[in-house]
Amino acid sequence: MANVTVTDRDCQETRPGLLFSDRAWPLKMGLALALFALLCGRASREISELQPEIEEGAIRIDHVRGSLIHVWARRVLTVTADGFDIDTKIGPFHVTSPFPAPTVGQYVSVVGEFVEPRHLAARGVQVNAGYLWKRGTNYGLSAATVLVFLWIVRKRFRWRPGGGLLRSRY
């Protein structure tokens, strides 16, 4: 009988394959990020056709008239007999609304369609009560969560750009 020793299965290294090997990892990362950027660019074009940004209702109304959009948390500037005006990056936008009117200064979300330049006909209006403190809390809590979590797990990794940026400490 031959004198053979076999390395324990748990101690055997498995080849990670082309996708997950160290070979040319910066190139593979660049390719992944390039593909992601292409996807983002394509989404920007295609989804702008399906659901344009509200500002496009002022710039190219003939192209977007009739399109349904969702506008999230915009401040109400004025209230009129047939609706209200909301704040956008390019100035006030009028919203015709059959729903109960919000008050000036409130934040509202609107689902509506473009009818005229700077003019939306609302199909749904939702008042975002407590927008400022809820949004602030949301961002504050999120930033604190990420920082605290990374601080807690930092000991499981160490910074080593030469062989993959994060080398485990085990």
Partner 1 sequence: MADLFTHLASARLPAAFVRDRRIAALLVIGTFLPDLVSKGLYWILRCSDNFETPTHTLVGVALISYAASLMVEERLRRLGFAALLAGGVIHIAVDLLKDNMGTGSSRLLYPFSPRSYELGLIDPLDVVFLAPFNIVILWAAWSIERKRRVQQ
Residue 106, interface with partner 1 (CB under 8 A)? Answer: no
- Out of 60, 63, 68, 80, name the contact with partner 1 by CB under 8 A: 68
Distances (CA, A) of 125 to 64, 76, 164: 20, 12, 49
Does residue 111 touch partner 1 according to CB under 8 A?
Answer: yes
- Please tell me whether residue 82 adopts helix, strand or coil conformation: coil
Determine which helix (DSSP H) or strand (DSSP E) holds 116, and give its type and residue range.
Answer: strand 107-116
Please return the burial class of 73, using the count of CB atoms within 10 Å of its CB with bins 0-12, 13-18 and 19+: middle
Is the CB of 42 or the CB of 60 nearer to partner 1? 42
**Spatial CB neighbours of 63, under 8 Å, sequence gap ≥ 6:** 52, 56
Exactly one of 5, 13, 62, 105 binds partner 1 (CB under 8 A); that residue is: 13
**Contacts with partner 1, residue ranges (CB under 8 A):** 13, 16-17, 19-22, 25, 28-29, 32-33, 35-36, 39-44, 46-48, 50-51, 53, 68, 70, 72-73, 109, 111, 124, 126, 128, 130-131, 134-135, 137-139, 141-146, 149-150, 153, 156-157, 160, 163-168, 170
